Amino acid sequence: MMEIGEFLQFVRGRRSIRKFREDPVPKEIIYHLIEAASWAPSASNRQDWEFTVIASPGMRQKMGEIVQNRWQSILAESLQGAVTDELKGYVSNFDWFSRAPVVVVVSAKRPERFLSHLLGETAEDVEGGKISAAMATQNLMLAAHAAGIGSCCVTGPLAAREALGELLGLGKRRAIVCLVALGYPAEEPAPPSRRPVSKIVRFLE
């Protein structure tokens, strides 16, 4: 059994990678990463997640264009001001994922209609599909780290969630939770700072 100190050292070594080598990621390794994701806990063990793997450069380019166009549309419709000007500097960062060798689109089933009718906006939280998919995503990224594969979870593209879902044929019953860019790292980011545990934990006794 792995000791907690060894595990913490492993977790601390994971980085969000945004620059990748051009080497393809073998399909066998991707299967292992998805298997690791499938062992995450899920609400009522429904395992409502799905992982759409995109390695095609053409498809990734289409995804990037959809996201870029959506954000340009959002900016065009927004009121001018400091916030809009600041956003313009970020928009170019929302489609970078399309240049990764592999993109995994993590999706979850939307809440059942009867639950949405009963609970409204809280239906997603209660049903737990998205939270389960998020936990599976963390498993996938830790497995990638163990395999020497860099990864980065991105949510900026979700501004174009519906259009991306249509492009990928996910259907109306599934919602994209996040995108994960994968590839062999072409950078070694410095360790990010973390707030001390004493600042983020509360014990109620």
> Domain locations in the chain?
18-186
Predicted local confidence at residue 111, as pLDDT? 77
Q: Which residues pair with 103 in a beta bridge?
A: 54, 181
Q: Confidence band (pLDDT; 50, 70, 90) for 144?
A: very high
Above 90 in pLDDT, residue 83?
no
Above 90 in pLDDT, residue 163?
yes
HEC string of the chain equals: CCCHHHHHHHHHCCCECCCECCCCCCHHHHHHHHHHHHCCCCHHHCCCEEEEEECCHHHHHHHHHHHHHHHHHHHHHCCCCHHHHHHHHHHCCCCHHHHCCEEEEEEEECCCHHHHHHHHHHHHHHHCHHHHHHHHHHHHHHHHHHCCCEEEEECHHHHHHHHHHHHHCCCCCEEEEEEEEEECECCCCCCCCCCCHHHHCCCCC
Above 90 in pLDDT, residue 50?
yes
128 vs 90, which has greater pLDDT? 128
Q: Confidence band (pLDDT; 50, 70, 90) for 1?
A: confident
**For range 181-205, the mean pLDDT:** 96
Q: Confidence band (pLDDT; 50, 70, 90) for 81?
A: low
Domain 18-186 sits in CATH at: 3.40.109.10
Q: Model pTM? A: 0.92
Above 70 in pLDDT, residue 105?
yes
Predicted local confidence at residue 133, as pLDDT? 97
Predicted local confidence at residue 67, as pLDDT? 95
Above 70 in pLDDT, residue 80?
no
Q: Confidence band (pLDDT; 50, 70, 90) for 72?
A: confident
Q: Confidence band (pLDDT; 50, 70, 90) for 73?
A: confident
Above 90 in pLDDT, residue 47?
yes
